[in-house]
Amino acid sequence: MGTTELITVIIPVYNRENIIKRSVESVIRQSFKQWKLLVIDDCSTDETFAVASSISDPRIQVLKTRKNSGAAAARNAGIQHAVTPYISLLDSDDMYHPDFLKYSIQAIESTNDSYGFTYTGVGDIEAYKEGEPVSRSVWTLPDRFSKFKKPYLYQLQVGTAAGITIKKEAFDKIGLFDESLRAAEDTDWFIRASEFYQGLPIHKNLIFKDNNLSDRLTINYSKNAFAYKVIMAKQSQEIQNSVFLMTRWYYKSMWLNFYSGNKKEATLDYKVLKAHKLADLKIVLTYFSGVILSRALFIKLHKKLAKLK
């Protein structure tokens, strides 16, 4: 690796032979040139490794994990391999705006030691047009939560698919992604990170997601429901000591379990809320809708209700 490289982009990939070139080429097109790209193939069963390896650029290295272990393990392998001061994470089905790295480096190099990472606005890949990034409203942590020890436990709308650039030293301090999680490993990491670092939003659409793929982890409800139970166990002390957190986390766990078809686990979550007198009208209606309706009808109804202000 050359001494001029400032940032390593890590793409974990599994069975993406048809689209891996799209994400890789979005890195190659970057206006900022001091990058290294690590493509971590998580033991794909198709031609992903061969396709990625065929892309000719000395800044690109394609590695393969020893066994299929999930995106968290693949990202960790890349992080451990990286030696640059900054790391950016890109999903194999997403792509960067050509100026993603330029704006990310400018932002993260302007921060002080209290900031551990930056994140950007997210657009839909179907509507993507190259050109000047569009300014937009990007989520920021509400001030009322900033006083808490782990503020992202209270509210978090940042994930690894949100144009994340992280200081390598943050991984040294916080640790890596939890490899036992096959979803929401980014939620778990950012909650832990928020005890020590702030995140800096960049108010531009600089990453674009492919929302048409059927196997995105964001719609794998069983994996997400399991992950949230693990996170809740890790953060149990803080959650049990806060009415706000108990309501927030058990309610989300409840509807995620209904989404995954696990009415038994959803009922256990509801019973916790009811026992602590936290089951308000919204929670009660959500619970009985989940019990009565089919999984598909409940998901459709809940998504509509979630859009209401």
185-211 per-position pLDDT tens digit: 999 999 999 999 999 999 999 999 887
Q: Are the C-beta atoms of 139 and 158 separated by less than 8 Å?
A: yes
**Together in a domain, 38 and 156:** yes
Beta-carbon contacts of 165 under 8 Å, excluding residues fewer than 6 positions away, are: 7, 86, 87, 88, 104, 105, 107, 108, 117, 118, 119
In percent, how much of the chain has pLDDT > 90?
86
Structure tokens at 4: 């001029």
Q: For residue 256, give its domain range.
A: 220-306
User: Could you report the per-residue pLDDT of 133-187, keeping only the tens digit for each?
Assistant: 666 779 999 999 999 999 999 999 999 989 999 999 999 999 999 999 999 999 9
pLDDT over 70 at 129, yes or no? no
Q: What is the mean pLDDT of residues 50-60?
A: 96
Per-residue pLDDT at 4: 82
Residue recorded with tokens 């990202």? 75
**Together in a domain, 178 and 246:** no
In a domain, 2, yes or no: no
Per-residue pLDDT at 2: 44
User: How would residue 130 be classed by pLDDT, with cut points 50, 70 and 90?
Assistant: low
Angle between helices 221-234 and 243-259 (to 10 degrees): 160
Domains of the chain: total:
2
pLDDT over 50 at 27, yes or no? yes
**Together in a domain, 172 and 202:** yes
**Together in a domain, 177 and 302:** no
User: Could you report the per-residue pLDDT of 244-277, keeping only the tens digit for each?
Assistant: 999 999 999 999 999 999 999 999 999 999 999 9
**Together in a domain, 181 and 272:** no
**Together in a domain, 162 and 243:** no
Boundary residue ending a domain (182, 209, 236): 209
Boundary residue ending a domain (209, 239, 264): 209
User: How would residue 226 be classed by pLDDT, with cut points 50, 70 and 90?
Assistant: very high
Q: Cβ–Cβ contacts within 10 Å for residue 176, how many?
A: 16
pLDDT over 80 at 308, yes or no? no
Report yes or no on whether pTM surpasses 0.85.
Answer: yes
**Together in a domain, 176 and 244:** no
**Together in a domain, 181 and 231:** no
pLDDT over 80 at 44, yes or no? yes
**Together in a domain, 203 and 244:** no
Read off the CATH number of the domain in which 29 is found: 3.90.550.10
Per-residue pLDDT at 133: 61
Boundary residue ending a domain (209, 238, 254): 209
Per-residue pLDDT at 215: 57
